[in-house]
């Protein structure tokens, strides 16, 4: 483990795998062995080969599920007395290769929900697949055999007849998880969430949060003749997408938000046809703790956008427009015929040199007199991946200011059909996707402007002027998954935590991703501190903030603990690591997951206190 602390200038406030062991069904399978990952034949350097294998090891399928929760062993430290009782849930894909030779992109892997239950100083673990309709169709419960029938939007299946196989948007419930109104829900980017029993982790069923709410129009939806024309074209596309491609009418985003102050769950949806049209229809829904709809707002934006994450403030929803375009007849024909992933029908639109920020009024009309349809343009092209938080404040002159922090990459780096380095031709995951190389092999140029990195924006509401706050003065390494104390969501916070990498000295052939460290940024004074995984071949997942047990003293937004999963590849183990959020220093507790239950890299998690 390594710890580093620096201080900067004040920051403006306002499957041939040598990796993890895999537990498989003891029942005899009726078909050939699962596909194995082959090493890149061009890779000759020993360290390079090891790095390639390490990356594949993070995405080895885990076919086993726990029948009952398993008690875990502390291998370092102890559970603090002020660590609350509750459960850390982690969503993500669990299977990538079936028993018929097909390998899918991690984004299309079936949802595998992991749960760490804390109580009275002990921890237990359980994990089960989310029993979606697609999961039931593609897994034989009697034999344990998997056969991918539907490819999903990011994948291609080996030897399958893709023409006529149009159920592309299969709901795998693998992206995020949350607890609201006593419901445990697993979300996915493009369909309804699935409700899970919080104790057994059995799937209750699919939940339509938007049912009966789609006709209650209440918003600032204008657009004139342009929108009328797009609605006319969209009507035909909608019948095609719903009837042929089996898509949902509303594409619910996997990232939701919780307004702790108002005690509301906020979700965002788009129309299915928006994927193919130069218009984006956003619908925001706010639910109380009984899932009663208390607010709905709709907005139409005349642009072709693909949004994954967003944020809110006291009075606004904030969306940074990631611009896309249709990729032409050739790529679209190949995708429909099954020769390439369906997502390759779309491409990142690099024509524009700026990034539009839309400040959408949360309640009624905007109070600043600004036309919300006219975005504020950031001076750089940035493909926003995840948003940490946003807030509104009044400066010393009485002007309203909005600030938000997020992770983004360059448009040139972001490739929709290569996410996670997925190569549908070979079935490999190529980690060089995350490297910026110039001149040839080994001549690498570090570039945070290309790989995912952190940035912060400050916007003066009246003037509509934006400025990029240079977060690189605090941290200039690739980073993602910006996380805060969720109690402060939508309001002012001083501290941001993110997954990052400390540099290429430890892993010269995996310099940017997977992440091997966590960083804490102090936005009030421009200082930072990092923590790194013990193992030189260790990686970490997303950080999650857990507040301490309630105390009488006034709480700071770093008054709690950070939890993350460490993937120790050389040991073929997973560990749950607890760190003190106030200093991010020595490990408070390190908990071992049994080797037969090691699991692949997760996506997003949630802490639910008892």
Distance, CA of 35 to CA of 427 (rounded, Å): 9
Q: How many whole angstroms from its chain centre is CA 504?
A: 24
Cβ neighbours of residue 326 closer than 8 Å, sequence gap 6 or more: 276, 304, 332, 345, 346, 347
Distance, CA of 236 to CA of 161 (rounded, Å): 26
Residue 266, CB-side half-sphere exposure with 13 Å CA sphere: 25
pLDDT higher than 70, residue 30: no
Q: How confident is the model at residue 259 (pLDDT cuts 50, 70, 90)?
A: very high
SS3 assignment, position 128: strand
Cβ pair 169, 147 in contact under 8 A? no
Q: What is the DSSP letter of 36?
A: -
Q: What is the pLDDT of residue 474?
A: 78
308: annotated binding-site residue?
Answer: yes
Distance, CA of 58 to CA of 20 (rounded, Å): 8
Q: Strand (E) positions, 144-292?
A: 145-146, 176-180, 183-187, 194-196, 203-206, 250-252, 257-259, 264-271, 280-287
Residue of 513, 425, 427, 419 whose CA lies nearest to 39: 427
Q: What is the pLDDT of residue 230?
A: 52
Greater model confidence, 43 or 148:
148
Distance, CA of 504 to CA of 551 (rounded, Å): 42
Q: What is the pLDDT of residue 248?
A: 64
What would the two tokens of residue 139 be?
């897994």
Q: What is the DSSP letter of 360?
A: E
What length does the chain have?
610
Residue of 499, 541, 503, 542 whose CA lies nearest to 518: 499
- Of 5-19, 211-225, 554-568, which range is least confident? 5-19
Cβ pair 563, 580 in contact under 8 A? no
State the DSSP H helix or E strand holding residue 55, giving kind and residue range, or none if neither.
helix 46-57
Could you report the per-residue pLDDT of 105-135, keeping only the tens digit for each? 999 999 999 999 999 899 999 999 999 999 9
Greater model confidence, 370 or 182:
182
pLDDT higher than 50, residue 200: yes
Instruction: Compute the chain's Rg from CA coordinates.
Output: 23
Q: What is the pLDDT of residue 462?
A: 76
pLDDT higher than 50, residue 16: no
Cβ neighbours of residue 229 closer than 8 Å, sequence gap 6 or more: none
- Of 66-70, 326-330, 597-601, which range is least confident? 326-330
Q: How confident is the model at residue 1 (pLDDT cuts 50, 70, 90)?
A: very low
100: annotated binding-site residue?
Answer: no
SS3 assignment, position 23: coil
Q: Which fold has domain 17-29+36-43+69-225+248-609?
A: Methylamine Dehydrogenase; Chain H (2.130.10)
Q: What is the pLDDT of residue 133?
A: 93
Residue of 473, 484, 427 whose CA lies nearest to 448: 473
pLDDT higher than 60, residue 582: yes
Q: What is the pLDDT of residue 506?
A: 64
Specify which of 211-225, 374-388, 559-573 reaches the highest per-range mean pLDDT: 559-573
Cβ pair 552, 21 in contact under 8 A? no
* Burial status of residue 184 (CB atoms within 10 A of its CB: 0-12, 13-18, 19 or more): buried
SS3 assignment, position 334: helix
Q: What is the pLDDT of residue 28?
A: 34
Q: What is the pLDDT of residue 504?
A: 57
Tell me the whole-structure pTM to 2 decimals.
0.87
Residue of 12, 60, 155, 142 whose CA lies nearest to 458: 12
What would the two tokens of residue 39 be?
């090493």
239: annotated binding-site residue?
Answer: no
C-beta atoms surrounding 238 within 10 Å: 17
Q: How confident is the model at residue 430 (pLDDT cuts 50, 70, 90)?
A: confident
Distance, CA of 475 to CA of 347 (rounded, Å): 30
Cβ pair 193, 186 in contact under 8 A? yes
pLDDT higher than 90, residue 59: yes
- Of 4-13, 276-285, 352-361, which range is least confident? 4-13
Q: What is the DSSP letter of 596?
A: G
| Range 239-245 average pLDDT | 54
Q: Taking the alpha carbons of 577, 581, 584, 586 in that order, is the dihedral positive or negative?
A: negative
What would the two tokens of residue 484 be?
């805060």
SS3 assignment, position 119: strand
| Range 521-538 average pLDDT | 89
Specify which of 40-44, 234-238, 345-349, 460-464 reaches the highest per-range mean pLDDT: 345-349
State the DSSP H helix or E strand holding residue 7, giving kind and residue range, or none if neither.
strand 3-7
Could you report the per-residue pLDDT of 276-329, keeping only the tens digit for each? 788 899 999 999 999 999 999 999 999 999 999 999 999 999 999 999 999 988
Q: What is the pLDDT of residue 435?
A: 67
Q: What is the pLDDT of residue 240?
A: 53
What would the two tokens of residue 215 be?
């006709």
Q: What is the pLDDT of residue 470?
A: 72
Greater model confidence, 466 or 51:
51
Q: What percent of the chain has pLDDT over 70?
A: 79
Distance, CA of 543 to CA of 520 (rounded, Å): 10
Could you report the per-residue pLDDT of 437-457, keeping only the tens digit for each? 433 343 344 455 578 999 999
Distance, CA of 421 to CA of 429 (rounded, Å): 5
Phi/psi at 595 (5° precision): -60, -35
What would the two tokens of residue 421 be?
């380095």
**Mean predicted lDDT score pLDDT of the chain:** 82
SS3 assignment, position 420: helix
> Does residue 548 have a cis bond before it (omega within 30 degrees)?
no
Q: What is the pLDDT of residue 339?
A: 82
Token pair 């400066």 is at which residue?
395
Query: Can you name the residues that pair with 403 across neighbouring β-strands?
Result: 391, 458
Q: What is the pLDDT of residue 392?
A: 92
Phi/psi at 55 (5° precision): -65, -45
Residue of 354, 357, 352, 350 whose CA lies nearest to 321: 357
């Amino acid at each position: 483990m390594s710890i580093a602390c620096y201080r900067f200038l004040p920051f403006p406030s306002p499957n041939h795998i040598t990796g993890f062991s895999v537990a498989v069904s003891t029942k005899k399978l009726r078909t050939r062995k699962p596909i194995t990952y082959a090493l890149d034949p061009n890779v000759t350097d020993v360290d390079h080969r090891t790095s390639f294998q390490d990356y594949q090891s993070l995405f080895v399928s885990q076919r086993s599920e726990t029948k009952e929760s398993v008690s875990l062993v502390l291998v370092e430290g102890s559970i603090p007395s002020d660590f609350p009782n509750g459960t850390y849930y982690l969503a993500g894909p669990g299977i990538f290769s079936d028993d018929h030779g097909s390998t899918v992109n991690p984004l299309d892997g079936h949802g595998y929900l992991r749960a760490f239950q804390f109580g009275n100083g002990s921890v237990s673990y359980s994990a089960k697949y989310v029993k979606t309709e697609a999961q039931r169709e593609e897994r034989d419960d009697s034999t344990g055999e998997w056969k991918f029938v539907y490819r999903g939007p990011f994948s291609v299946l080996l030897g399958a007849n893709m023409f006529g196989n149009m159920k592309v948007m299969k709901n795998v419930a693998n992206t995020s998880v949350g607890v609201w109104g006593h419901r445990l829900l697993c979300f996915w980017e493009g369909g309804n969430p699935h409700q899970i029993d919080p104790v057994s982790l059995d799937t209750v069923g699919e939940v339509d949060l938007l049912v009966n709410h789609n006709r209650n129009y209440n918003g600032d939806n204008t657009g004139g003749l342009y929108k009328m024309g797009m609605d006319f074209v969209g009507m035909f596309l909608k019948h095609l997408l719903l009837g042929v491609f089996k898509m949902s009418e509303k594409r619910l985003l996997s990232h939701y938000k919780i307004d702790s102050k108002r005690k509301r769950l906020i979700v965002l949806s788009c129309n299915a046809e928006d994927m193919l049209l130069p218009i984006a229809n956003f619908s925001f829904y706010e639910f109380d703790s009984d899932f009663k709809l208390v607010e709905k707002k709709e907005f139409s934006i005349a642009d072709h956008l693909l949004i994954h994450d967003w944020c809110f403030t006291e009075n606004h929803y904030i969306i940074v427009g990631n611009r896309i375009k249709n990729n032409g007849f050739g790529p679209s024909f190949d995708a429909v015929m099954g020769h390439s992933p369906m997502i390759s029908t779309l491409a990142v639109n690099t024509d524009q040199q700026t990034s539009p920020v839309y400040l959408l009024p949360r309640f009624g009309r905007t109070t600043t007199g600004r036309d919300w349809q006219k975005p504020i343009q950031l001076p750089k092209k940035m493909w926003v991946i995840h948003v940490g938080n946003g807030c509104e404040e009044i400066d010393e002159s009485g002007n309203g200011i909005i600030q938000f922090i997020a992770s983004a990459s360059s448009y040139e780096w972001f490739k929709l059909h290569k996410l996670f380095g997925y190569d549908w031709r070979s079935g490999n995951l190529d980690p060089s996707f995350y490297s910026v190389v110039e001149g040839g092999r080994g001549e690498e140029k570090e570039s945070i402007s290309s790989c995912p990195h952190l940035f912060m924006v400050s916007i003066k509401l009246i003037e509509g002027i934006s400025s990029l706050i240079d977060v690189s003065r605090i941290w200039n390494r690739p980073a993602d998954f910006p996380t805060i104390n969720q109690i402060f969501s939508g309001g002012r916070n001083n501290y941001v935590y993110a997954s990052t990498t400390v540099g290429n000295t430890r892993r010269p052939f995996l310099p940017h991703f997977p992440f091997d460290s966590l960083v804490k940024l102090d936005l009030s004074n421009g200082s930072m501190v990092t923590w790194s995984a013990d193992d030189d071949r260790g990686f970490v997942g997303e950080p999650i903030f857990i507040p301490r047990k309630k105390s009488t003293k006034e709480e700071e937004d770093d008054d709690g603990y950070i939890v993350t999963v460490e993937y120790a590849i050389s040991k073929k183990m997973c560990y749950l690591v607890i760190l003190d959020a106030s200093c991010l220093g020595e490990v408070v507790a390190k908990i071992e997951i049994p080797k037969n239950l090691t699991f692949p890299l997760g996506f997003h998690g949630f802490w639910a206190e008892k």
